[in-house]
Structure 1
Amino acid sequence: MSDTDTTMNAALEKAEAGVRRMRAARDDRWYPSTHIAASAGWINDPNGLSFVDGRYQVYFQHHPYSTEWGPMHWGHVSSDDLVTWRREPIALAPSTTADRDGVFSGSAVVRDDGALAVVYTGHRFRNGVDEDEGNLQVQCLAVSTDGGRTFSKEGTVIDCPEGFVHFRDPKVWKQDGRWFLVVGVSTLDRRGQVWLYTCDDPELTTWDFDSVLYEAADPNVFMLECPDFFPLSRSGEPAYPGDPDVRWVLVFSPMGATPHGYTNRNGNNAVYVVGDWAPGRPFTDVSPDRPSDSGANYYAPQTFQAPDGRRILFGWMGSFTAPEPTRAADAWCGQFTAPRELRLSASGDSVSTVPVAEYARLRQDTVATGPVSVGLNEDVVLAEDIRNSADIELEIDLDRTTAERVSLLVHATPTGNHTAVSWDSQSGRVWLDRRLSGAGDRGYRSVPVPASDGTGDAPTLRLRVIVDRGSVEVFVGDGEGVISSAVFPPEGPRALVLSSESGTAELPTVTVHRLRSIWEDPADR
């Protein structure tokens, strides 16, 4: 065993002990039942999403000693079906000069020799203490030969450009026998860019700068974090690099974006751009940048290609800026979205997002079914108490609905608290309103709805709402709009209620499924 591996093993043992101490104090009142979260401590960006040795591997930015962001480690969970998850030992910890202040975000690929190779950002403060004099960030390589459980660090493979203080979050893929990598950059004149690198070395140790792939149009955007670049097929079939029937999607998280109307309302936002690209050619966008998710808590999404060709995504549901009550007393903070499949729209210039088909396997029983008629200014209770998780599907017949607003109230408590998922006929939008949710941040987020969401003479609005103890995700139609937000309801019974305002509502279908826990270990359920 090398000295580098010995040092990291000691750091990993210390981190595991830190998590155990925090886990003993964890409060589960909002701890997710059906979403990935750290056993204890802080979690942010999904990292290293991959499939190796018959299991899906999900890593994440993790601070094992605190509920606040701190020196980043890589936490790890794995699954053989995308819905039942096993906790794995912490995979990476700061242990070298290059990553002494954090093993920052990165991605994983299976090399030709079968090893799982991780390219990540090694982070350190230039003054050794804080960011006052900037960061020094390099791209590093770590390799696993046991299915992603343990890694050996191979050192720096891309140095930091001279004078740059933001240079991070590499995403790697293979195309036409060659390796490619995108990385987020803040230039010397503080413009957010995505750079492209190439590699012909099968061990991924030698990389060459290729080009500036993209620059943010907003001059206030000084950094594009967590870039991801991948193909989606216009035919709807699985898309592979080199397929001529594809569009390329660039996803990134802009820092410094200007709030405007309904967009860029969070301290941390994630957007995507659709365009055309091939090796040796520039990326030509065919769409404006659009929200990857319109919720209040969604950042740093990362994708990977499943063995069957689907493009699967996880995002972080958390915040660096908004108040989150789990930080103060619950010994954990942050979670992931449900796993999602991405598809290219029929027009070829936008992306739809839906829960993976496997998510339905979590359904245990059906507690309410439609059709449901809601009278003038009436409330209809669908379920008296769902404190853990539910998967709710409903349709609103817009031709037979006269209400100005039709709402699904989730986490409705005897104290009057609830989170409202609403169809607003005046604005033509679906809203997620946290004004009465309970603790934490308030505010609302929304997405527009097409004039007709269905087929035939009667337009129908279809919604799917996934509720966990401390989160709500809303999928509109076939995933044309998504709203994901953290919520922190009070203790006690949490009902599901349909509500109409200034009119009546007709819902041909309402189905509420209780969900089982995703955790393999009963201690985490």
Structure 2
Amino acid sequence: MMNIDSMTTYDQSEQLAKAEAGVEALFQNRKDRWYPSSHIASKAGWINDPNGLCYFKGRYHAYYQLNPFDSVWGACHWGHVSSEDMVTWRREPIAMAPSFEAEQDGVFSGSAVVSDDGKLVIYYTGHRWRNGVNEDEGNLQEQCMAVSDDGIHFSKLGVVVPCPDDRILHFRDPKVWKQGDSWRMVFGVSTPEHRGEIWMYTSKDMVNWTFEKPIYQHPDPGVFMLECPDMFPLDDKWVICYSAMGLHPQGFEARNHNNAGYVIGTWQPGGDFQQETEFHLWDDGHNYYAPQTFQGPDGRRLVFGWMSPFTEPIPMQEDNWCGQFTVPREVTLAGDHLRTQPIREYSQLDQGQQDFGPIELGVNESRDLLADAQTADIEMEIDLARSQAERIGLEIHRTSNGDHTLVCYDDQLERVVLDRHCNTYGDRGYRTAPLDKSDGKLKLRIIVDRGSIEVYVNDGLEVMSSYSFPAEGPRAIRLIAESGEGKALIPSLTISQIGTIWQESDR
């Protein structure tokens, strides 16, 4: 049983009030040209990592890193939204703000669990700059604890896992779960030798934690930190996931500033993790980082990722907001990697489906499908075995000046491509996802919001999530076939508008 009666509590009411006022001030001048209607984002201000994902007292809760005073990273608080069904979400009061010394420079990322006595317990990283100003001399980071009866109002109980070595400059992002009669905590560490590791601690009472062992070390000595680690069972396997800092690009892989992925293996409490697969990206797109999973009340493993705008320019910052989550995805095991696809409930948002298939396009032929699509849920099949075009796909967010983002199958690469080279706003470049062509067909599901695109390949065997900021004017969707020796065959293609996830008062 958790004994917290003797622990100090820290009041944060004044800091929370200032944060709420900060978000409201930014919201008054928020522009919505790219603001998402079907993805979680803060009402205003900057967001990053998903935090504290859980199901508690009949509602799903999603917390997130929030700067309530600006649309750039900084002043980390915990924002909060909740939902009965993961379809319609409501905004909740800001959950946590910096209010005592160990967290004076930020309430950093963490996770949530339900205690045996029915309380929601948050474990998170309290953050301070060593020099009091910035990260030039490293961080002072410790794992902290907060408790709530309703998931909305929290009592902070201070530090429960202090940093054990003053030479450690990164020590953060606890993920906690219960196994048997013990609680387990993993978090990311940059060792004194600057190696990226994940450490495991254990506890019987949720308050007193004991170091057990490093459960994972990244094999690349250039990877100096493993942020936002997660560890969970799936069927008869265990998955360790992390966001690697210092990982260098190799071919099509790991092209982003930092890259989130996982390894799969086996593990028994007290033993070592036995890795059985290579590192695999969660998502092959431009903008995906810091995913966190949790178990739903029906046993499903669910995940949210942060669509991370690491690369300049970041045009949405001019609009008084920055950052959003991906749609919630269900995680299942698919051999040596994970399958992730939108939760089945997400289709409840679909409206006014239009059926365009089957379609046959000639060489270099294109066809306009929709003149203006602010949002779209697209399901498309391409007959690879009988098509002869070099590229077959969709120009999305196409505006009158020629701006668009292309999602296509590229026969020369034999991969699915998301290409932003025609974008006026934001970072450009392209990303690709590998493809198994053995069955001669390709299934794509493409989720389009005002400023983002998510591409699910063959029922989520691969995914690409990227920002796409349309230019001014209507946003068309065009089907294209490029070059090659013959036609493109599309057996089926449907497009639905996506309704908003927000209650009317929360948009």
Give TM-score, length-normalised by structure 1: 0.93
Structure 2 Cα separation of the partners of residues 290 and 386 of structure 1:
33
User: What percentage of residue pairs aligned between the two structures are identical?
Assistant: 55
Identify the match of residue 368 of structure 2 among 349, 370, 381.
381
Match of 1:239 in 2: none
Query: 2:306 is matched by which residue type in structure 1?
Result: W
State the shift of 1:523 in Å. 5.4
5 Å matches for 1:150-299? 150-162=153-165, 163-201=167-205, 204-233=206-235, 246-299=236-289
Question: What SS does structure 2 have at the residue aligned with 1:270?
Answer: strand
The corresponding residue for 2:99 is: 95
Indicate the larger mover: 513-522 or 167-176: 513-522
- Amino acid in structure 1 at the alignment position of 2:299: G
> Paired residue for 2:498?
515
Deviations 1:345-388 (A, max 9, x none): 1x3x211111100110000111343111112211111111102x
User: Does 1:123 pair with 2:127?
Assistant: yes
What is the CA–CA distance in structure 1 between the aligned matches of 2:126 and 2:50, rounded to whole Å?
16
Check conservation: 1:57, 1:79, Cα contact below 8 A.
yes
- Whole-angstrom distance in 2 between the partners of 1:80 and 1:399: 44
CA contact (8 A) 1:276 1:283 kept: yes
Asked if residue 400 in structure 1 is aligned to residue 403 in structure 2, the reply is: no
Q: 1:14 offset after TM fit, Å?
A: 0.4
Aligned-partner Cα distance in 1 for 2:303–2:275: 21
**Match of residue 329 from structure 2:** 340
Aligned partner of 1:464 in structure 2 is: 445
Deviation at 1:414, TM superposition (A): 1.2
Partner SS for 2:26: helix
- Please say if 1:506 is aligned against 2:489: yes
> What letter corresponds to residue 78 of structure 1 in structure 2?
S
Structure 1: how far apart are the matches of 2:445 and 2:378?
6
Structure 2 residue runs of 5 or longer lacking an equivalent are 1-5
Query: Which residue is equivalent to 1:301?
Result: 291
1:415 and 2:401 are equivalent in the alignment: yes
Question: Aligned equivalents of 2:35 and 2:354: distance in 1?
Answer: 22
Secondary structure of the structure 2 residue equivalent to 1:326: helix
CA 1:3/1:169 → structure 2, altered by over 3 Å: closer, same or farther? closer
Q: Partner of 2:102: helix, strand, or coil?
A: coil
Deviations 1:227-284 (A, max 9, x none): 0001111xxxxxxxxxxxx111111001011111111111121011001001011001
Q: Is the 8 A contact 1:72 1:104 kept in 2?
A: yes
Alignment correspondent of 1:243: none
Following superposition, the deviation at residue 3 of structure 1 comes to 12
Letter in 2 for 1:371: P
TM-superposed CA distance for 1:7, in Å, is 3.8
3-state SS of the aligned residue for 1:17?
helix
2:405 and 2:174 map into 1 onto residues whose CA distance is: 37
1:433-512 mapped onto 2 (5 Å cutoff)? 433-452=419-438, 454=439, 459-502=440-483, 503-512=486-495
Distance in 1, Cα, partners of 2:312 & 2:196: 23
> Does 2:114 align with 1:133?
no
1:400-432 CA-partner distances (Å, limit 9, x unpaired)? 211011021111111111100010112110000
Is the contact between residue 84 and residue 519 of structure 1 (CA under 8 Å) also seen in structure 2?
yes
* Alpha-carbon shift at residue 5 of structure 1 (Å): 6.2
| Equivalent AA in structure 2 for residue 87 of structure 1 | R
Distance 1:3 1:278 in 2: 33
Conserved? CA contact 2:10–2:156, under 8 Å: no
Aligned counterparts of 1:318 and 1:63: Cα–Cα separation in 2: 14
| Equivalent position of 1:79 in the other structure | 83
What residue number does 2:53 align with? 49
2:358 is the alignment partner of 1:371 = yes
Asked if the contact 1:368/1:383 (under 8 Å) is kept, the reply is no
How far apart are residue 497 of structure 1 and its match? 0.8
Displacement of 1:120: 0.1
Q: Residue 119 of structure 2 contacts residue 148 of structure 2 at CA under 8 Å; is this kept in 1? A: yes
Whether the aligned pair in 1 keeps the contact of 2:230 and 2:242 (CA below 8 Å) is: yes
**How many Å separate the matches in 2 of 1:401 and 1:94?**
58
- CA-based RMSD of the aligned residues comes to 1.5
Structure 2: how far apart are the matches of 1:176 and 1:420? 49
**Contact 2:91–2:506 (Cα < 8 Å) also in 1:** no
Q: What amino acid is the match of 2:193? A: D
Do the aligned partners of residues 369 and 522 (structure 1) sit closer, same or farther apart at CA in structure 2, a change above 3 Å counting?
Answer: farther
The answer to whether 1:66 aligns with 2:70 is yes
